[in-house]
Structure 1
Amino acid sequence: MREKTMTRKQVEEPKMQMTIRGMGLSLLVGNPTHKQKVVVVMGATGTGKSKLSIDLATQFQAEIINADKIQIYKGLDVVTNKVTTEECKGVAHHLLGIADPESNFTAENFISAVSLAMKSIIGRGKLSIIAGGSNSYIEALVDDENHEFQSRYDICFLWVDVAMVVLHQSLAERVDRMVDSGMVEEVRNIYKHNSDYSKGIRTAIGVPEFDSYFRAEYSSFSDEKTRAKLLEVAINETKINTCNLARRQVEKIYRLRDVKGWKIHRLDATKVFQKKGKEADMAWAELVAGPASMILNEFLFSFGHSPGLASTVDSHSNNITKVEMGAIAT
Structure 2
Amino acid sequence: MSSLPMQMWKQAQPLLKIPTSLLKKEVLNPWKQQRDKVVFIMGATGTGKSRLSIDLATSFPAEIINSDKIQVYKGLDIVTNKITRQEQCGVPHHLLDIVNPNVDYKSKDFCLMATHAVESILQQDKLPIIVGGSNSYIESLVSDPKYGFKFNYDCCFLWVDVSVSVLHKSVSNRVDKMVQSGLVDEVRGIFDPYNSDYTRGIRQAIGVPEFDTFFRTEHHLDESDRDKQLQGAISEIKENTCKLVNKQLKKIHILKHLKAWELYRLDATEVFNNGNEDVANDAWHKMVTQPSLEIVTQFLSNTRNLDPNFSARRVLRNMIEQNHPLIATA
Q: TM-score range by the shorter chain?
A: 0.7 to 0.9
Alpha-carbon distance, 1:31 to partner: 11
Q: Is residue 243 of structure 2 the alignment partner of residue 261 of structure 1?
A: no
Show the counterpart of 1:143: 143
Percent pairwise identity: 50
- How far apart in 2 are the matches of 1:141 and 1:28? 29
Give unmatched runs, 5+ long, in structure 2: 1-13, 308-330
Compared CA separation, residues 28 and 148, structure 1 to 2 (3 A): farther
Q: Is residue 79 of structure 2 the alignment partner of residue 79 of structure 1?
A: yes
Alpha-carbon distance, 1:14 to partner: 4.8
- How far apart in 2 are the matches of 1:304 and 1:168? 34
SS at match of 2:87: helix
Compared CA separation, residues 208 and 278, structure 1 to 2 (3 A): same
Matches of residues 166-315 of structure 1 in structure 2 within 5 Å? 166-193=166-193, 194-217=195-218, 219=219, 221-275=220-274, 276-302=276-302, 305-306=305-306
Q: 12, 15, 18: which one pairs with 2:20?
A: 15
Q: 1:157 touches 1:265 (CA, 8 Å); kept in 2?
A: yes
- How far apart in 1 are the matches of 2:57 and 2:141? 21
Compared CA separation, residues 31 and 55, structure 1 to 2 (3 A): farther
Q: 2:16 touches 2:294 (CA, 8 Å); kept in 1?
A: no
- How far apart in 1 are the matches of 2:122 and 2:285? 28
Return the letter of the residue paired with 2:212.
Answer: D
Q: 2:15 touches 2:290 (CA, 8 Å); kept in 1?
A: no
Alpha-carbon distance, 1:182 to partner: 0.4
SS at match of 2:59: helix
Compared CA separation, residues 237 and 32, structure 1 to 2 (3 A): farther
SS at match of 2:145: coil
Q: 1:28 touches 1:35 (CA, 8 Å); kept in 2?
A: no
Scaled by the length of structure 2, the TM-score of the pair is 0.84
Considering Cα pairs closer than 8 Å and 6+ residues apart, tell me whether 1 or 2 has the greater RCO.
2
- How far apart in 1 are the matches of 2:31 and 2:128? 16
Give unmatched runs, 5+ long, in structure 1: 1-8, 308-330
- How far apart in 2 are the matches of 1:12 and 1:150? 29
Compared CA separation, residues 26 and 189, structure 1 to 2 (3 A): farther
Deviates more, 1:27-36 or 1:175-184: 27-36
Alpha-carbon distance, 1:12 to partner: 3.0
Compared CA separation, residues 27 and 150, structure 1 to 2 (3 A): farther
Alpha-carbon distance, 1:223 to partner: 2.4
Residue-by-residue CA offset, 1:73-129 (whole Å, 9 max, x unaligned): 000000000001111111110000111100110001001101111111011110000
Compared CA separation, residues 255 and 30, structure 1 to 2 (3 A): farther
SS at match of 1:87: coil
Compared CA separation, residues 26 and 137, structure 1 to 2 (3 A): farther
SS at match of 1:39: strand
Alpha-carbon distance, 1:225 to partner: 2.1
SS at match of 2:221: coil
Q: 2:41 touches 2:158 (CA, 8 Å); kept in 1?
A: yes
Q: 2:111 touches 2:147 (CA, 8 Å); kept in 1?
A: no
SS at match of 1:298: helix
- How far apart in 1 are the matches of 2:30 and 2:47? 31
Return the letter of the residue paired with 1:291.
Answer: P
- How far apart in 1 are the matches of 2:266 and 2:30? 24
- How far apart in 2 are the matches of 1:10 and 1:138? 29
Show the counterpart of 1:111: 111
Show the counterpart of 1:54: 54
Superposition RMSD in Å? 2.5
SS at match of 1:86: coil
Return the letter of the residue paired with 2:203.
Answer: R
Compared CA separation, residues 28 and 225, structure 1 to 2 (3 A): farther
Residue-by-residue CA offset, 1:26-84 (whole Å, 9 max, x unaligned): 77869943111000000000000000011001111110000000000000000000001
- How far apart in 1 are the matches of 2:105 and 2:95? 11
